[in-house]
Structure 1
Amino acid sequence: MQPPLTRARPRSRARLFALSALLLICVPLLSGCLRVQVSMGVSSDDRVSGQIVAATVPANDKDTGPQLTAPNSLANKIRVQEYKQDGYVGSQAFFSNLTFGEVQQLGSMSGQVGSAVQLNFQRSGDVVVLDGKADLKSVPDGSDVQFSVAFPARVATTNGTRDGDSIVTWKLPPGEVTAMRAEVRYADPNTRSFAGWAGIVTGVALGVAVIVGAMAYLGRNRSPRFEHPDAAGKDKQKV
């Protein structure tokens, strides 16, 4: 597995929180065309769900195509099943609720070198940047390799094909190295959690103030007010 791409991190007084992930998909190169389709969605709390398809045109009736195997550490978050469609055979893996760090472990789903896609998610404040590279030099012509990401907010910049405001797709050509990049802005989930807690604390404080005010009102002195006789006489004279 190749090391993840690195990016220079600017120095700033603002808090810089970086999360990186590396996805390395390896499938055996068999005779015939190759199909690799990766689609994933990034949620507003930096969780990743999606699927991976790895399949080839079978060489014979016994050829089952590339078989993906979930790593033990993610066995409860990944489900692998047979894939058979449009003359392709192989397997597809469904994953859900992965952290950026856990996405890196998807690279161990196959130990055979074939097509490789590197991804690096980096967060700086409210900005999330996806940097990726697909090395398909050894992939045969006619192969279908696609990568798609859905973000929780509008994509600001990208070198991929936009499919709406928040979805970007790259159709990766065989025999080439393709760079992928997308930038999106949405609130840091850690900041939102703090803001949410601050809101709860404020709500509790307001609730306490209301309760104290209500208790003071209910506990006020309701006895008849005493007036001095002279004061009452003076009031009558004024009338």
Structure 2
Amino acid sequence: MAAWHDNAVQQPHSDVRSRSRVRLFALSVLLLICIPLLSGCLRVQASLGVSPDDRVSGQIVAATVPADDNDKGPELIPPDSLTQKVRVQAYKQDGFVGSQAFFSDLTFGEVQQLGAMSSQTGSSIQLDFRRNGDVVVLEGKADLKSVPDGSDVQFSVAFPARVNTTNGTRDADSIVTWKLPPGEVSTLRAETRYADPSTRGFAGWAGIVAGVTLGVALVVGAMAYFSRHPRR
């Protein structure tokens, strides 16, 4: 499944240096997917792509086999805070009906707000993205005990670098998919390593400061030289 973009904002030298090297991004994403009582089959497909700047884009599908012609399946409703970044449309495919949400350029904190896209009742997928220096860890828990047998629940993440360890299925070096069994509680884990965007921002700022410092030194040096060697 495809994946799942905050350009790093450069911070003043003093602000960045005051930060701890270890930055912890923790988010609890709670996706409450509606499971109608008359439904015998559920489809939940979530795919996220993480950019090198710790931005997240992707899509979520929540659909069921309709009980009758009037059954439109579960409806995903984005929270007010994300209406500009989340687009929801009707989903109808392979006999399933429901809704499909597309989102882009979410920060880790904004991904947490996706939990507000809830329906009536159901199971949950909780995710934690944590950064420790250049190491990013994804840990999750999927409680699908109330999901009917025969349901299709899949979760996929594409990282900007090779996944070092995971308990999911590698679709490629940087893409991992979990096919979650209904009626059970499953765990998700993946670990990767890529540069902390705040560090890259600091490096850029340091380069600017170094350039300015060098420029000032050259000007001062030139003034000193010409004061000792006046032109005739």
Specify the TM-score bucket, using the shorter chain as the normaliser.
0.7 to 0.9
User: How many residues are treated as equivalent by the alignment?
Assistant: 210
User: Is the CA contact (8 Å cut-off) linking 1:116 and 1:134 kept in structure 2?
Assistant: yes
**1:99-114 correspondence to structure 2 within 5 Å:** 99-114=107-122
- State the partner residue of 2:193: 185
Aligned to 2:75: 67
Q: Which has the higher contact order (CA 8 A, sep 6+)?
A: 2
Structure 2: stretches of 5+ with no match in the other structure: 1-19
Q: Secondary structure at the match of 2:172?
A: coil
Query: Taking structure 1 as reference, are residues 218 and 89 closer, same or farther at Cα in structure 2, changes over 3 Å only?
Result: farther
1:7-27 CA-partner distances (Å, limit 9, x unpaired): xxxxxxx73211111111112
Match of 2:32 among 26, 30, 33: 26
Contact 2:76/2:119 (<8 A) preserved? no
Partner in structure 2 of residue 139 of structure 1: 147
Give RMSD over aligned pairs.
Answer: 1.9
Partner of 2:5: none
Secondary structure of 1:192's aligned partner: helix
Q: Deviations over 1:75-125 (max 9, x none)?
A: 111111111111111001111111111111111111422121010111111
Take 1:163 and 1:156, find their aligned partners in 2: how far apart are those partners? 13
Q: Is the 8 A contact 1:32 1:58 kept in 2?
A: no
Residue 98 of structure 2, aligned match among 90, 103, 122:
90
Match of 1:15 among 14, 17, 21: 21
Instruction: Name the larger-Rg structure.
Output: 1
Identity %, equivalent residues: 73
Determine the structure 1 residue equivalent to 2:128.
120
Deviation string for 1:11-48 (max 9, x for gaps)? xxx73211111111112212121000000011111111
The gaps in structure 1 that reach 5 residues or longer are 1-13, 224-239
Which whole-Å CA distance do the structure 2 matches of 1:127 and 1:27 have between them? Answer: 31
Normalised to the residue count of structure 2, the TM-score between the two structures is 0.83
Matches within 5 A, 1:25-64: 25-30=31-36, 31-64=39-72
